[in-house]
Structure 1
Amino acid sequence: LVLQKNPYHALVVRGILGAIAALVYAVFGAADVALTEALVGTMLAITLYAVAVRSSLMMRLGIVDVTERDPDNRAITPSRAAIDLNEPQFQSMLATVRDRLTPYHIRLEIVPYVSLQALEHALVEKEIHAVCLPYGCDSVTRSAIAEPHGVPAYHLRVRVQRLYEIVQSGGISEATLQWAASPAKPTTIGTEPNTQEVPS
């Protein structure tokens, strides 16, 4: 039994213990058992664990690409829901979210979509864990107003409650956070609450 807070450390420890076990079997003359332990008990187990850790410890954040595209992949009119990945405020928000996920060894993956409809469909079908949209581009944030000085504000909607709780504990000052399963008004983390009612 291997207990480690860091899952990658657990994989290393499991590999070391497996190598020691294979060596002990070899010393006592059980070469066939040692080979089985090395190939199946250690290598296969570590490979399966690594794949599981790599795929499960990830938060997939969906956004709308900076320009929508038609079926032939030709750029069309930019969408109000589109986000520029190089926008400083968006990068600042991503950095804050990553800081909250790092202690849990969770990686943040940005998944671009060509339209708001495709993004919403992906969230409903559980292809992604959260969506990030500029304020005012969908029914949830229709009545919200951009932050002062013309700086765009972002709306972060998280589908998984545990991920929502992890991100909520951080100091997100430039985004509004909402648990997607809750129809309640989004909670602004690190900023003054918005007195204007936001429709659910």
Structure 2
Amino acid sequence: MLEGTFEDGYMIAITALLPLTACLLVFQVNPYQALIVRGILGAIAALVYALFGAADVALTEALVGTMLSITLYAIAVRSSMSMRLGLVLPKTEQLTPDQPKDLEPEHPAPQLISDLSSALSRHHMRLEQVVYPTPATLQAALVTNDIHAAYGLDNHSSPSIHTRLRQLYDILQAELPPTTNLIYFDSYNQLDKGTFKATQTKTDFVSDHITEQQP
């Protein structure tokens, strides 16, 4: 009698971990920690299946439901939780291929890169720098959605950061210092107009949209 009660007790305790772990997974903000919680949830589910005598279902859950899904999720998180920042190659270096080269260049504004990395890390993102040989190729990469943002498209003494993603613009505008020159670049509207406003400021962007909305 006591043995049966003990077995029922630990089975109920293990089964109760399923909804608890599921709640932790749902309310997890950090995507990398969510992957760990998802693995724990899969392990508990496989254990529950095995306790109830469904060994084949437990094996399927462990191999497909947990291992495969976590692998796919990790690849998706790795590729999506990064910001690709395009840079113009310094004149002291040369890039022979036409394609950009992924490297960590000696950046003319290291403080800006540090601020960007800190701002993105607070949203569990990482900064990836992609170097282009000329401003023209950098602009083309921004228009064709090869990169998320570009630095150094204009020739001002304080170059700007152009981004084509409105959500990324809002995040950086709230996180970066006020002195940072941040510009939202709407590639579709710019292509329709046939121009690229490399010197467009935040005020110009707002006034342009207000003008377009007026009859």
**Same-fold status (TM-score > 0.5):** yes
1:58-91 superposed Cα distances (whole Å, 9 cap, x missing partner)? 1100011113747578xxxxxxxxxx9435x611
Out of 165-174 and 116-125, give the one that drifted further.
165-174
Counterpart-to-counterpart distance in 1, 2:66 and 2:29 = 20
User: 4+ runs of 1 displaced by more than 2 Å?
Assistant: 67-73, 84-87, 170-175, 182-185
Which of 88, 93, 106 aligns to 1:86? It is 106
Bigger-Rg structure (1/2): 2
Q: CA RMSD in A?
A: 2.5
Q: Structure 2: which 5+ residue stretches go unaligned?
A: 1-21, 99-103, 190-196, 204-215
Deviation at 1:174, TM superposition (A): 5.4
1:96-139 superposed Cα distances (whole Å, 9 cap, x missing partner)? 11221112111110000111121111111100000000752xxx
Q: Per the alignment, in what secondary structure is the counterpart of residue 106 of structure 2?
A: coil
CA contact (8 A) 1:93 1:172 kept: no
Q: How do 1:77-116 residues align onto structure 2 when only pairs under 5 Å count?
A: 85-87=105-107, 90-116=109-135
1:32-76 superposed Cα distances (whole Å, 9 cap, x missing partner)? 111100000001111111111111111100011113747578xxx
CA contact (8 A) 2:139 2:153 kept: no
Q: TM-score, normalised by structure 2?
A: 0.68
Which of 111, 136, 139 aligns to 1:117? It is 136
Q: Per the alignment, in what secondary structure is the counterpart of residue 64 of structure 2?
A: helix
Considering Cα pairs closer than 8 Å and 6+ residues apart, tell me whether 1 or 2 has the greater RCO.
1
Q: TM-score, normalised by structure 1?
A: 0.73
CA contact (8 A) 1:154 1:174 kept: no
> In the alignment, what sits opposite 2:8?
none
> In the alignment, what sits opposite 2:210?
none
CA contact (8 A) 2:42 2:61 kept: yes
Q: Structure 1: which 5+ residue stretches go unaligned?
A: 74-83, 137-143, 147-152, 189-200
Amino acid at match of 1:86: E
CA contact (8 A) 2:85 2:148 kept: yes
Amino acid at match of 1:124: V
> In the alignment, what sits opposite 1:186?
201
Q: Per the alignment, in what secondary structure is the counterpart of residue 162 of structure 1?
A: helix
Q: Per the alignment, in what secondary structure is the counterpart of residue 67 of structure 2?
A: helix
The size of the alignment, in residue pairs, is: 163
**Between Structure 1 and Structure 2, which shows a larger proportion of helix residues?**
2
> In the alignment, what sits opposite 1:64?
88
Which of 144, 161, 168 aligns to 2:173? It is 168
Amino acid at match of 1:12: I
Counterpart-to-counterpart distance in 2, 1:169 and 1:72 = 37
Counterpart-to-counterpart distance in 1, 2:148 and 2:76 = 17
Q: Per the alignment, in what secondary structure is the counterpart of residue 71 of structure 2?
A: helix
Counterpart-to-counterpart distance in 1, 2:134 and 2:176 = 29
CA contact (8 A) 1:62 1:112 kept: yes
1:125-170 superposed Cα distances (whole Å, 9 cap, x missing partner)? 100000000752xxxxxxx4x2xxxxxx221111101111111112
